[in-house]
Amino acid sequence: MPARVHALLVVRPDGRIPVDLHLRRTLSALQAQTRPVDALTVVLCGDDAELRGIANESGAEGIIAASRGTTFAQALAMASHRLRGDAVWLLAQDTAPAPDALAKLAGALETSPSMAFAAPKLVRWAHADRIVSLGVTMTALGRTVVLAEDELDQGQHDGRDDVLGADVRGILVRADAWQELGGLDTALAGADEGLDLGIRARLAGRRVALAPTALVAVAGDGVAAPPSGRASGLRVHRAYVRRLAQLHRRLAYAPAAAVPLHWLSLLPLAIWRTLADLVAKRPLGIGPDWVAAVTAMLRPAAVLRSRGRIRRSRTTSWAQLAPLRMSRAQLGQRLGVDDEHAVGGGRDELHFFTGGGAWVVLAFLVLSVAAFPALLAWPALGGGALAPLRTTVAGLWADAAFGNRPVGWQLVGPADPFSGVVAALGTLWPFEPSRALVALWVLALPLAALGGWFAATRVTSSATLRAFVAIAWALAPTLLSALVEGRPTGVLVHLLLPWLLLTASVAHRTWSGAGIASLLVLAVIACSPSVAPALVVLWTVALILTIAVRRGRGTARVLWLIVPTVVAFSPLVWHRIRQADPWALLADPGVAAALSGRVDGVIDRILLAAGFPTVDPAGWSALLGANASTWWVALLVAPLLLLAVTAVQTRRIVPVAVLLLTAVVGMVTALITTGVTVAASGSTAVGIWPGAALSLAWAGLVGAAAIALHLVPVPRLVRAAAGAVAVAALVACAVPSLTASVRGATALTNGPTSTLPAYVAAEAGGGRGEGTLVLSPLADGSIRATVVWSGTEALGGQTTLLSAHAAATPDDITLARLTADLVSESPDDAITQLAEHGIGFVLVTIDADESDAARATRLGAQTALDQRERLDNVGDTGNRVLWRVSDEVAPRRVADSVADTARTVAVVQLGVIVVALLLALPTAASRAASRRKPRIVGLERSRS
C-alpha cells in the first residue's frame, strides 16, 4: 500500500451549479476516509472569496490560485510541482469518495508493482445505486466506449479488473508513473484524459486496474470531465470536446507516415459525419464536428508534444492493446436497438384497414371518378388558374431556378417557390408531366380523406371519429371550390395541411417529424404565401409551449421548422425589398386569374367565416339561380362549428386550445386577405384567394370537433347523433360542387397541352429558346402584351414578379412602346428590336366574346403586322393569328453574374432541402423512440 497519498483537488466556480455545496461534501468525504490522505493541495481556478474560505478551512497543505479558464489537466500540472508521496489522487470539487474508497484504491494499486493507476466505480451524486462510469475502452478507429454507464448497480461488473483506461475522476496514480507519463495531456480539452493516460501506461509496460468496490459520487460539474446535463449548450460542448479528443488522439497515436493522411482526412470526415448526423437525427453534432476538425488541424504543435510524450515512455508495441479494445461486432451489439423491447407498449396500432380508413378512401375515389368522369380521358387540364406543365423534367426544374424568367420582356430574378412544388409534382409523371395535374384532380378527394384520417390519429384513437375527420376534411368547401374553379394552389394546400399537422404536432419529439414538417411548411407557404403569417403565429405558440412545458427540450427541432422556408424565400424576399414592394410577397403564385366575385357585405363575410371562400357558397347560387338566396348555406356547417366550440368542455385543454387557435387564426387571415389586392391579370385586379387560410381554419375546427365527439361528458348516443348530423349536413352542402362537372358548371377544360400554337411549341421549345410576343386585345380597346419563352406559358414558369408589382418597370415601358410601334405605322426598327432581343414570333389572340372595341383593336393590329416586310404570316388557327420574324433571331443569353447567382442560390437551397430530407429519413432508433410515445398528442397531460 502506498506510504503517502497526495490528493490534488481542482475547484472551479460556476454560476450554474452549487459549487460550495459540492466542495463541502467532497472535503467532508476526504476527512472521513478510513485511510486518510497524507497531503491535500487545492487548485482554485477563479477568484471566489467563499470558495477560498472553504479551502482555507479544509486543512490543505497548499492552495494554488489559477485563472478561471484553467483546465483540469493544466491545474494538475501546476499542482504536480508540489507533489510529495507515493501516489497522487485526482479529485475535483464534485468527486465525493465513500469512506473506504481510498483504502480500496490503494489496495488495488498494491496488487502489482507494474500497476500505473487504479480507478473507482463512479456513481451518481444523489443516487449511489446508479453507475456513471466503470472502465473505458476504445474501438480500432479510436471511438471512446464506456464499459458500464447509467446502469443500476447490482454488482454485475464487480468482477472486472483489467481495462484499457477509465474516467479520470477519482483515479489513484502511482507517483513514479505520473512523473514518467508526464501527467494528463492538456491538448485533450477535458475529454478522454483517463483513457489516454491508460493507453500511455499500457505502452509503457504498466497496467490499469479497476477497484469496483471503491465508490466515488460525481455530480458532473464539468471540471474533471465534460459537464453533464440535457441542455443544448451542454450537449454541444460535450460533443465538441469528445470529438476534439478523438481526433487529437488519432493524430497522436498514428504511425508517423500516416499522420499527414489523417490530417488531410479531417475535413472529408467532417462532411461524412455531417451526413451521418443528419440521418441519425443528431443535427446538434454537426457544428461541434466541424469546429473540432478545424481545431485539430490548426494544432500541429500539440500533436507533436503528445507524440513526443508517447515516444519517450513507450516500451511495448501497440499490438499489446488489441485484446483490450472493443471490436466492431461488440460495438454493434452494444449499440444495437432491440425494437421488440423498445416499444414498451407506448403506442397502439393504426388499424387503417381494419378500422375502416381504407374503405373511406376507396369510397371517395369512387365519388371522385363519378364527380369528374371526363378527366380520365384528358391529357392536360386547362381553365381557371390552370396551365400546362413543361414536357420534360429538366424544363420543370429549370423554371424553378434563379435566372431569366420564362415570361416577361427581360425579367431576371428568383423563381417563386411554387415553381419547385410544380416541378416536384410533374416529376412524379416524368414522361407526360401535365398528366400529373389530371391525376391530382382525380385523386384529390381520396387523398384528402387519406390525409384527414391520418391527421385524426393525433387527436383520437376511435376508428369512427377518424372516419368522421376524413369525411369532413374531404368535403371541405375550400377543397371543393378549388377543384371546381381550377385552383391548383388551393388544392395542394388542402392536401398538404393534414400531413403538416400530423408531423408538426410531434416535431418537438423527433427530428424525423421536424424534418418532414419543415418541408411541408415550405410547400404550403409556397402554394399560398398569404397563410405564412398564420403559420408563424402557430409556430411561435409551439415554440413557447416547448420552452414552457418541456423546459426547452425539442426547441431546436421546433426552430428548424421554418429554416427551409426562410432559405427558399430569401431570394424572393430580397428582390421585393430592393423593389420596395414587400406586400407583393403575399400574392398567390401561378396563373393570376380573377375567378370569383369579390367578397363584400355582411352576408358574404359571414359565409366566408363559415368556410366558403367564394361569393357563390359551395356552388348553390349556380345550382338554384343567380337570384336565389344562399345565406342559409352557412347553417349546413353550423353543426361542425358547434361541436368544435363544445370541445372546451373536455379535459384535453392544451390540444383543444391549439386547435381552436388554429381555427381563429385561419379565419382572421381569410377575413383580412380577402380585401387585399396585390396582383393583376392584364387590367383586372386579382385579389388573394382566402381559401388557403380557410383550409387552415377548417383543420382546427374538424380536429376540435373530433375531440368533442370523443370526450364531451354527454351520453354516447347524443355524441353519435351530433356527429351524424354534422356529416349529413356536409354531404348536403357538397352536392352542387360534386355535380358541377356533370352539369358543365366548372371552369375545367380539356387542355391545352400548350398555350401557344403547335408550330411555336415545336420551334421555340425545340432547344432554340425563342420568345413569343403575345398580344391580347382587351374589352376596353387596349392591348395586353406578354412575352413567353420556350414554347408555352407553363404553370411552373409563372412568376409573381410579373403578375404582382406596384408600379410600371422600365421593362414594362419598353414592351409597351414596342407594342405600340408594332401595331401602328412606324419604321421596322421594332422588328429589329424583337430579333435582337430573341423574340421570333408575334401572336395575336382572338377572344370568342370580344367586344367591339377589342375587335377593332385586333383588326388594326393584324393589318399593321401584315404590312411588315420582315414579318411572315404563319397562319390563322381560329382563335389566334401567328407571325414569324424573318430576321435572324439572337439567342437569349444569361449574364455571367446571373449564372453565378443562380448557382449560389441553387447550392444553398438544395443543400437545405437535402438536410431536411436526411432529417426526415427514419432510422431504427428513431422508429423505436417514436413507438415509446403515444400517437395522440397531449394524451399524457390529459390523463394526469
Query: How confident is the chain (944 residues) per 10-residue block, as mean pLDDT?
Result: 83 74 88 89 85 83 86 88 85 90 87 85 86 86 81 75 85 90 87 89 88 89 82 81 89 88 86 80 83 89 90 85 78 53 50 86 94 90 92 92 91 94 94 93 96 93 92 96 94 96 90 92 96 96 87 86 96 92 92 74 83 88 81 92 92 90 95 86 84 95 94 88 94 94 90 86 68 90 90 90 84 90 79 90 88 90 88 85 90 86 93 90 71 72 38
* Backbone phi and psi for residue 96, each to the nearest 5 degrees, phi listed first: -100, 105
Q: What is the pTM of this model?
A: 0.81
3-state secondary structure of 283: helix
Give the H/E segment covering residue 906: helix 896-920
pLDDT for 943 equals 38
Q: Count Cβ atoms below 10 Å from residue 709 Cβ, excluding itself.
A: 25
Scanning the structure block, which residue is given the C-alpha cell 436497438? Answer: 337
Q: Taking Cα atoms as reference points, which of 845, 814, 846, 843 lies closest to residue 830?
A: 814
pLDDT for 532 equals 96
Residue 588 and residue 679 in contact, taking contact as beta carbons nearer than 8 Å: yes
pLDDT for 942 equals 39
Residue 510 and residue 926 in contact, taking contact as beta carbons nearer than 8 Å: yes
Residue 191 and residue 292 in contact, taking contact as beta carbons nearer than 8 Å: no
CA distance 801 to 812: 12
pLDDT for 281 equals 72
Q: Taking Cα atoms as reference points, which of 488, 413, 347, 430 lies closest to residue 805?
A: 413
CA distance 615 to 691: 12
* Backbone phi and psi for residue 42, each to the nearest 5 degrees, phi listed first: -105, 130
CA 676 remoteness from chain centre:
30
CA distance 179 to 635: 88
Q: Which residues contact 61 (CB under 8 A, 6 or more apart)?
A: 39, 40, 41, 82
